[in-house]
């Protein structure tokens, strides 16, 4: 059988001389020698013994050369280090944070929360005062261009299939112009609470049974579940509020002195339960679920191998902190009644 | 005495009933309902009202105690002795104690324990305090002239006789003669009775005397517990209501501002939420699909479990006498048993290359049988789909392609902890001009590094339709050894060129199972715990997300 040197080198992806090839083939007990060069092409004559019935095609000879050369010795630095061949399409990668967010979104939806999508822009008042927070001027990104803000707002109007969201554009526009400043949210809470405020006319069943003694059946809770995502460099962190509100699946923006533009996005998760009772234990169950799905165990306070819950002195112990591997990554609790009033939610 | 007490209770009940009726009268509807109820079933209604009245009495008692304590502390620094305080206010001390415990628990007051040990009479002691000690009874039963034991025994209670003899002899009050018992003294004092009466009145007596009485089990110690009270950190003149939750009612009424909330128990978990979970194997599959897409591969349609032997074996240049085509390894079908349609010109070229070669090959030199190629089977690998895709690709002007598939395949294998008769196979292939073995190795490094396998090495292997063929090994840091993770190679020219692909087109491909990396990832050591009807649903529920491809 005659095999050309270019065929062997071309398929293996190396550059071997005739002498090397014949040496390798002889090592594999295929007797090989260079053919007389009466033409310019370099050929190798191989004598195949009868015991090698598997040699049918020149590619079988090529394989023996490759085996003798060593599969693990075949390394094209460009191919291996660049994770792809020059002749192949570029190798692509998705962003890990977005991938993780999508996985968690699915897990939260599997336990009955409905996802919503709300605005990134909000008023400065909504970001701080209405949430009973102080603006320490170190977190919010402020937009100074009123006209541009209006445009962005209009572009951002989105009807989400899962939400019965109605926006009075005229009222919205008027409301916008009356604001002194508009900020990019540093928390998912304003958007999530506004969803509840705008869904407050959702019908509620009420049953009253009159008999010898008056008896009012307990009103079923008005359940409207929503989830958004959040994450920081320290890993997953959650900001889950119990009480009223909706969930947003989006980033928030905070000031960061170490960035070239002075700000960065944080990915967060926010969820809300809305019913006649606060439902702290349901949101707590959601926290446990999200942690379990990230393979994080529930541990005793002080243990850094997992997560635990500790008390925060807000609304008489109704808020809690999530400590994950010694770091505070999230909080959950009952929305303060004053905040509910601020967002015009009279009937939680 | 009794009449006065009864009258007092009756007046109290009447007063409470009057108040209740007055309250009800303010609400017309409820008042009407109440009146109707009374007329319809007077006994039941009256009983209920009475029970409410009784319950109110109890609540009033404790409420009074609480009010008294908090009110007193508003103007005074402390209550030194809860016992004395109870006496002054005319409230039962037990109620005071109950209220103090509650107030202390909620930090309204700081309570310090006060303990006083006192002695109380046993039943035996009470008897002797009333009728006198047994020794005195015995002494009084003995006349001046003496009395026989038998007669004396009849006079007295057996226990009195027994104890009395012992104690009287000890005191040397009587002479125990052979025939008679006679007095040795004329008069005795009943000191035991006197002591018992003193204790009953709360007077102090000597420790020696206490010991003597204690030995005779006439007295036992009793500890009286009380408190001294001061204002606590949460002190308020009136107790705030403590609720477990913020509710719509107390939110709307604004009452929440006055409420105090019970503490949460943070060492417990939250309420488990009902919902579903995704299967771990399919979560891994989704991540692998994402990895292929990121590498520019498109998915092949694998929705055909039933396959023809032609596409499964013959098109891949696998000889018809190959052991894999034995019934011990392949599930052949009874219905439908044969393939109906095949591309005939292609079949002829496949036949020729098997029998006598071509395209630079000398073939297998055997008689190829059409009936063998027409047999239907459950596909043994997803490369059957690859052969179909490559054939279709060859019918068009050539264009480079990257394909992948992840789906189920079937093999007639004995089931054990690492093998099933059906499992998921992962396959990737690249079809392009001038591909080399080096390209294959490069793609494998890229692919496996996304699965977290950064150390790879390759070993020669034999496959009938790839040449060269390589087994892929990865070093497992946990196992501390090299683990086979897949198989790979370049498709033979005898497979590609009969399809009509150009001579300089090469196809590199690799495959691995889905189950094995999933088991390694999640630490599952029995494949039946992962796949099949014996899977633990709890495992699926608790299983974390798969982060393959996510750093």
For B414-469, write each residue's pLDDT tens digit: 777 778 888 899 999 999 988 888 889 888 888 888 888 888 899 998 888 888 89
- Give the gap in angstroms from C-alpha A151 to the nearest C-alpha of chain B: 35
The answer to whether the beta carbons of residues A330 and A238 sit under 8 Å apart is yes
Of B82, B68, B87, nearest to B110 by C-alpha is B82
Q: B57-106+225-238 sits in which CATH class?
A: mainly alpha
The answer to whether the beta carbons of residues A198 and A218 sit under 8 Å apart is no
Q: Write down the architecture of domain A96-343 according to CATH.
A: 2-Layer Sandwich (3.30)
Question: How does B506-543 read in b/e, with b if 16+ C-beta sit within 10 Å?
Answer: bbbbbbbbbbbbbbbbbebeebeebbeeebeeeebeeb
Using 50, 70 and 90 to split pLDDT, how confident is the model at A158? very low
pLDDT confidence of residue A246: 30
Question: What number does CATH give the domain B280-542?
Answer: 3.30.930.10
Do A57 and B506 lie within an 8 Å CB cutoff?
no
Report how many Cβ contacts below 8 Å link chain A to chain B: 230
Ramachandran class of B49: left when φ > 0, alpha when ψ lies in -120 to 50, beta otherwise: alpha
Q: Average pLDDT of A75-98?
A: 58
Q: Where in chain A is the domain with CATH 3.30.56.10?
A: 2-73
Do B247 and A301 lie within an 8 Å CB cutoff?
no
Nearest CB partner across the interface for A87, out of B295, B439, B460: B439
Of A233, A238, A230, nearest to A329 by C-alpha is A238
Nearest CB partner across the interface for A293, out of B40, B361, B544: B544
Look at residue B32 and tell me whether its pLDDT is greater than 50. no
Q: Average pLDDT of A110-116?
A: 66
Kindly list the domain boundaries of chain B, sorted by start residue.
57-106+225-238, 123-223, 280-542
- Give the gap in angstroms from C-alpha B123 to the nearest C-alpha of chain A: 52
pLDDT confidence of residue B158: 85
Q: What's the rounded Cα separation, in Å, for the pair B504 and B497?
A: 10
Q: Average pLDDT of B524-532?
A: 80
pLDDT confidence of residue B395: 93
Using 50, 70 and 90 to split pLDDT, how confident is the model at A315? low
Q: Where are the beta strands (DSSP E) in B169-303?
A: 174-176, 180-183, 219-231, 242-243, 260-261, 298-299
Q: What percent of chain B has pLDDT over 90?
A: 15
Q: Residues of A with CB below 8 A from B261's CB?
A: 315-318
Do A348 and B251 lie within an 8 Å CB cutoff?
yes
Each residue's pLDDT tens digit, B99-153: 888 888 877 888 888 888 888 888 888 888 888 888 888 888 888 888 888 888 8
Q: Residues of B with CB below 8 A from A67's CB?
A: 460, 468
Nearest CB partner across the interface for A56, out of B278, B357, B458: B357
3-state secondary structure chain A: CEEEHHHHHHHHCCCCCHHHHHHHHHHCCCEEEECCCCCCCCEEEEECCCCCCCCCCHHHHHHHHHHHHCHHHCCCHHHHHCCCCCCCCCCCCCCHHHHHHHHHHHHHHHCCCEECCCCCEEEHHHHCHHHCCCCCCCCCEEECCHHHHHHHHHHCCCCCCCCCCCCCHHHHHHHHHCCCCEEECCCCHHHHHHHHHHCCCCCCCCCEECCCCCEECCCCCCCCCEECCEEECCEECCEEEECCCCCCCCCEEEECCCCCCCEEEEEECCEECCCCECCHHHHHHHHHHHHHHCCCCECCCCCCCCEEEEEECCCCCCEEEEEECCEEEEEEEECCHHHHHHCCCCCC
Query: Among A34-43, A261-270, B159-168, B335-344, which stretch is predicted with the lowest mean pLDDT?
Result: A261-270
Name which residue leads in pLDDT, A173 or B257. B257
**Who's near A268: CB < 8 A, 6+ residues apart?**
A187, A188, A228, A229, A230, A231, A237, A238, A239, A251, A252
pLDDT confidence of residue A198: 61
CA A216 and chain centroid, separation: 45
Residue B359 has what DSSP assignment? T
- Give the gap in angstroms from C-alpha A128 to the nearest C-alpha of chain B: 21
pLDDT confidence of residue A178: 24
Q: Residues of A with CB below 8 A from B274's CB?
A: 111-112
Look at residue B510 and tell me whether its pLDDT is greater than 90. yes
Chain B residue whose CA is closest to A14: B438
Do B33 and A10 lie within an 8 Å CB cutoff?
no
- Give the gap in angstroms from C-alpha B38 to the nearest C-alpha of chain A: 10
**Who's near B289: CB < 8 A, 6+ residues apart?**
B299, B404, B406
Q: Which helix H or strand E contains B484, and what residues bound it? A: strand B481-491
CB atoms within 10 A of CB B544: 17
Question: Residue A335 corresponds to which tokens in the numbers above?
Answer: 């929305």
Using 50, 70 and 90 to split pLDDT, how confident is the model at A155? very low
Phi, psi of B179 (to 5 degrees): -105, -40
Look at residue B38 and tell me whether its pLDDT is greater than 90. no
The answer to whether the beta carbons of residues B277 and A110 sit under 8 Å apart is yes
Q: Residues of A with CB below 8 A from B469's CB?
A: 63
Look at residue A234 and tell me whether its pLDDT is greater than 60. no
Using 50, 70 and 90 to split pLDDT, how confident is the model at A235? very low
Q: Average pLDDT of A197-215?
A: 34
Look at residue B492 and tell me whether its pLDDT is greater than 50. yes
Do A76 and B442 lie within an 8 Å CB cutoff?
yes
Query: Among A35-39, B19-23, B162-166, B385-389, which stretch is predicted with the lowest mean pLDDT?
Result: B19-23
Q: Residues of B with CB below 8 A from A231's CB?
A: none
Do B545 and A278 lie within an 8 Å CB cutoff?
no
The answer to whether the beta carbons of residues A287 and B270 sit under 8 Å apart is yes
Name which residue leads in pLDDT, B45 or B239. B239
Look at residue A161 and tell me whether its pLDDT is greater than 50. no
The answer to whether the beta carbons of residues B453 and B474 sit under 8 Å apart is yes
Do A315 and B468 lie within an 8 Å CB cutoff?
no
Q: What's the rounded Cα separation, in Å, for the pair B389 and B404?
A: 11
Q: What's the rounded Cα separation, in Å, for the pair B456 and B426?
A: 18
Radius of gyration of chain A (CA): 33
Do A347 and B248 lie within an 8 Å CB cutoff?
yes
Phi, psi of B523 (to 5 degrees): 70, 35
Of A131, A130, A189, A200, nearest to A165 by C-alpha is A200
Calculate the average pLDDT of chain B. Answer: 80
Select the highest-mean-pLDDT range: B201-210, B265-274, B459-468.
B459-468
Nearest CB partner across the interface for B245, out of A79, A99, A277: A277
Residue B463 has what DSSP assignment? B
Query: Among A291-295, B28-32, B431-435, which stretch is predicted with the lowest mean pLDDT?
Result: B28-32
- Give the gap in angstroms from C-alpha A267 to the nearest C-alpha of chain B: 16
Do B266 and A56 lie within an 8 Å CB cutoff?
no
Do B545 and A294 lie within an 8 Å CB cutoff?
yes
Domain A2-73 indexed as CATH 3.30.56.10: yes
* End-to-end Cα distance, chain B: 88
Q: Residues of B with CB below 8 A from A277's CB?
A: 245-248
Return the percent helix, strand and coil in chain B, to nearest 5. Answer: 45, 20, 35
Look at residue B44 and tell me whether its pLDDT is greater than 70. no
Q: What percent of chain A has pLDDT over 90?
A: 0
Q: Residues of B with CB below 8 A from A321's CB?
A: none
SS3 at position B84: helix
Question: How does A309-344 read in b/e, with b if 16+ C-beta sit within 10 Å?
Answer: beeeeebebbbbbbbbeeeebbbbbbbbbebbebbe
Using 50, 70 and 90 to split pLDDT, how confident is the model at B501? very high
Name which residue leads in pLDDT, B541 or A153. B541
Q: Residues of A with CB below 8 A from B269's CB?
A: 284-285, 288, 298
Q: What's the rounded Cα separation, in Å, for the pair B493 and A208?
A: 82
Do B439 and A79 lie within an 8 Å CB cutoff?
yes
Do B246 and A278 lie within an 8 Å CB cutoff?
yes
Sign of the C-alpha dihedral computed for residues A229, A231, A235 and A236 taken in this order: negative
The answer to whether the beta carbons of residues B127 and B248 sit under 8 Å apart is no
Using 50, 70 and 90 to split pLDDT, how confident is the model at B314? very high
Q: Residues of A with CB below 8 A from B273's CB?
A: 111-112, 282, 285-286, 289
Using 50, 70 and 90 to split pLDDT, how confident is the model at A54? confident
Do A99 and B550 lie within an 8 Å CB cutoff?
yes
β-partners of residue B491 are B466
A-interface mutation test, from B250, B251, B297, B487, most A Cβ less than 10 A away: B251
Q: Average pLDDT of B53-79?
A: 71
Q: What's the rounded Cα separation, in Å, for the pair B331 and A157?
A: 58
| Greatest CA separation for chain B | 149
Find the angle CA(B421)-CA(B427)-CA(B431) to the nearest 5 degrees. Answer: 145
CB atoms within 10 A of CB B339: 17
Q: Residues of A with CB below 8 A from B247's CB?
A: 276-278
B-interface mutation test, from A12, A82, A231, A316, most B Cβ less than 10 A away: A316
Name which residue leads in pLDDT, A230 or B364. B364
Using 50, 70 and 90 to split pLDDT, how confident is the model at B403? very high
Chain B residue whose CA is closest to A346: B252
Q: Average pLDDT of B199-228?
A: 85
Do A317 and B261 lie within an 8 Å CB cutoff?
yes
Radius of gyration of chain B (CA): 50
Q: What percent of chain A has pLDDT over 70?
A: 37
Q: Where in chain A is the domain with CATH 3.30.930.10?
A: 96-343
pLDDT confidence of residue B507: 93
Q: Which helix H or strand E contains B104, and what residues bound it? A: helix B93-105
Look at residue A81 and tell me whether its pLDDT is greater than 70. no
């Amino acid at each position: 059988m005659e095999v050309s040197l270019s065929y062997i080198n071309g398929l293996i992806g190396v550059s071997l001389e005739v002498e090397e090839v014949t040496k390798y083939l002889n090592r594999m007990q295929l007797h090989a020698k260079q053919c007389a060069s009466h033409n310019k092409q370099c050929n190798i004559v191989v004598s195949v013994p009868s015991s090698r019935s598997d040699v049918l095609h020149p590619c079988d000879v090529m394989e023996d050369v490759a085996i003798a050369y060593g599969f693990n010795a075949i390394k094209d630095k460009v191919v291996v280090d660049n994770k792809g061949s020059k002749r192949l399409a570029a190798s692509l990668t998705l962003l890990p944070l977005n991938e993780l967010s999508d996985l968690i979104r699915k897990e939260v939806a599997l336990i009955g929360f409905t996802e919503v999508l709300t605005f990134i822009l909000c008023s400065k008042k909504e970001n701080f005062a209405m949430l009973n927070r102080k603006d320490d001027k170190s977190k919010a990104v402020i937009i100074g261009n009123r006209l541009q803000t209006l445009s962005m707002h209009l572009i951002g109007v989105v009807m989400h299939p899962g939400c019965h969201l109605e926006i009075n554009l005229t009222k919205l526009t008027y409301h916008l112009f009356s604001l002194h400043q508009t900020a990019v949210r540093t928390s998912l809470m304003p958007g999530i609470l506004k969803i509840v405020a705008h869904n407050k006319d959702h019908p509620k069943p009420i049953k009253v049974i009159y008999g010898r003694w008056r008896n009012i059946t307990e009103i079923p809770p008005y359940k409207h579940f929503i989830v958004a995502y959040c994450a920081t460099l320290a890993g997953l962190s959650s900001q889950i509020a119990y009480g009223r509100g909706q969930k947003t699946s989006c980033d928030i923006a905070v000031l960061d002195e170490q960035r070239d533009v002075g700000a960065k996005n944080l990915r967060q998760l926010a969820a809300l339960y809305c019913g006649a009772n606060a439902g702290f234990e349901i949101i707590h169950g959601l926290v446990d679920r999200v942690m379990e799905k990230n393979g994080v165990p529930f541990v005793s306070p002080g243990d850094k191998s997992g997560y635990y819950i500790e008390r925060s002195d807000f609304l008489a112990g109704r808020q809690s902190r999530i400590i994950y591997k010694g770091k505070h990554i999230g909080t959950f609790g009952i929305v303060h009644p004053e905040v509910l009033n601020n967002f015009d939610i009279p009937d939680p | 005495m009794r009449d006065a007490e009864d009258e007092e209770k009756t007046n109290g009940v009447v007063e409470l009933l009057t108040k209740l009726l007055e309250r009800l009268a303010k609400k017309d509807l409820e008042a009407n309902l109440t009146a109707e109820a009374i007329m319809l079933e007077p006994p039941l209604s009256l009983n209920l009202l009475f029970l409410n009245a009784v319950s109110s009495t109890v609540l009033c008692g404790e409420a009074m105690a609480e009010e008294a304590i908090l009110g007193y502390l508003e103007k005074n620094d402390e209550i030194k002795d809860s016992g004395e305080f109870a006496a002054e206010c005319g409230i039962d001390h037990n109620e005071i104690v109950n209220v103090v415990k509650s107030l202390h628990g909620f930090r309204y007051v700081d309570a310090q324990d006060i303990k006083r040990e006192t002695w109380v009479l046993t039943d035996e002691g009470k008897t002797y305090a009333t009728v006198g000690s047994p020794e005195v009874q015995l002494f009084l039963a003995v006349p001046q002239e003496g009395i026989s034991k038998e007669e004396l025994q009849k006079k007295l209670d057996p226990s009195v006789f027994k104890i009395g003899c012992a104690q009287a002899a000890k005191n040397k009050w009587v002479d125990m003669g052979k025939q008679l018992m006679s007095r040795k003294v004329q008069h005795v004092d009943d000191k035991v009775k006197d002591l018992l009466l003193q204790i009953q009145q709360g007077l102090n007596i000597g420790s020696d005397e206490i010991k003597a009485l204690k030995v005779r089990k006439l007295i036992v110690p009793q500890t009286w517990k009380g408190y001294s009270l001061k204002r606590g950190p949460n002190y308020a003149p009136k107790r705030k209501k403590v609720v477990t939750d913020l509710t719509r009612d107390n939110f709307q009424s604004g009452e929440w501002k006055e409420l105090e909330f019970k503490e949460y128990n943070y060492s417990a978990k939250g309420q488990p939420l009902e919902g579903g979970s995704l299967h771990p194997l399919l979560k891994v599959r989704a991540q692998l699909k994402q990895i292929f897409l990121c590498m520019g591969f498109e998915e092949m349609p694998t929705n055909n479990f039933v396959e023809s032997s032609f596409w499964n074996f013959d098109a891949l240049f696998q000889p018809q006498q190959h052991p894999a085509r034995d019934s011990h390894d392949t599930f052949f079908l009874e219905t439908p048993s044969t393939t109906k349609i095949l591309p005939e010109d292609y079949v002829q070229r496949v036949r020729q290359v098997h029998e006598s070669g071509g395209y630079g090959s000398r073939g297998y030199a055997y008689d190829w049988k059409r009936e063998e190629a027409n047999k239907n089977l459950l596909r043994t690998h997803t490369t059957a789909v690859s052969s179909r895709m490559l054939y279709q690709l060859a019918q068009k002007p050539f264009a480079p392609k990257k394909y992948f598939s992840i789906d189920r395949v079937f093999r007639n294998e004995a089931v054990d902890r690492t093998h099933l008769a059906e499992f998921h196979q992962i396959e990737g292939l690249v079809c392009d001009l001038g591909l080399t073995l080096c390209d294959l190795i490069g793609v494998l490094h890229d692919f496996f590094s996304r699965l977290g396998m950064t150390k790879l090495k390759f070993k020669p292997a034999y496959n009938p339709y790839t040449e060269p063929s390589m087994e892929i090994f990865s070093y497992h840091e946990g196992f501390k050894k090299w683990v086979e993770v897949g198989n790979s190679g370049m498709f033979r020219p005898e497979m590609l060129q009969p399809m009509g692909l150009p001579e300089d087109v090469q196809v590199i491909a690799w495959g691995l199972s889905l189950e094995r990396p999933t088991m390694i990832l999640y630490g599952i050591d029995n494949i039946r715990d992962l796949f099949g009807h014996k899977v633990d649903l709890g495992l699926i529920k608790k299983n974390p997300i798969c982060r393959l491809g996510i750093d």
